Amino acid sequence: MLPEGREQIGVRDADGGGRGRRGADSSLVFDPAAYTEQTIGIKDTTGAAHSVTYRFFKVASYVAKPVNAVYQSLNVSVPVSIDGTAVDASEAPILLANSVGGYSPSTVANNTGIIASGMGGNTSRQALALAAGYVVVEPGARGRTLVDADGVYYGTAPAAIVDLRAASSFRRWPGRGR
């Protein structure tokens, strides 16, 4: 039985195999009270400025037995208010914003919030999604260049796809019913 206010969600092993809610690893408990509230200024695609307040959750890992938790972790950002108007994100769409390119590794372990500007100074897709009322999930994933102490590559294909699939399963937001 989980403590009050905690919910078990989307359990996956590092190899992508799911175990559902039964026999779930307690390290995958999502704590809805473990967030920092942040406010960010965002320019939308028309150039209009918006002030977005959101809750930023750092999740230790989205798999029960991570091969490398630095890469197998995710962050969740939930809008609370946009331009001073309260937002109910309980049924909001979700942007699963991965930064995996060419099967390279991607980590979000050191992120401290959403960054407003993306490549070339444009507004990042994560910031645009927050300004539109979306929940933003940013997963890390293993990639082809990761090597263990024995010189074995452990991030080769299909590791990134397995990790993103596990993150997608974990991202089920409490109360969404999906």
| Average pLDDT, consecutive stretches of 10 residues, N- to C-terminus, the chain (178 residues) | 41 44 57 93 93 93 91 95 96 91 89 79 89 95 95 94 90 48
Phi then psi for residue 167, to 5 deg, are -65, -40
- Residue 176 forms part of a structural domain: no
**C-alpha of 69 from chain center:** 13
- The confidence score (pLDDT) of residue 30 equals 78
User: Cα separation of 77 and 96, whole Å?
Assistant: 11
Which run of H or of E encompasses 8? strand 7-8
Is there a domain that residue 52 lies in?
A: yes
| pTM for the predicted model, two decimal places | 0.80
Q: So what's the pLDDT on residue 4? A: 47
Q: Is residue 45 part of a domain?
A: yes
Q: Which domain holds residue 26?
A: 7-170
For residue 72, give the DSSP letter.
S
Domain count, the chain: 1
Question: Is the residue at 2 inside a domain?
Answer: no
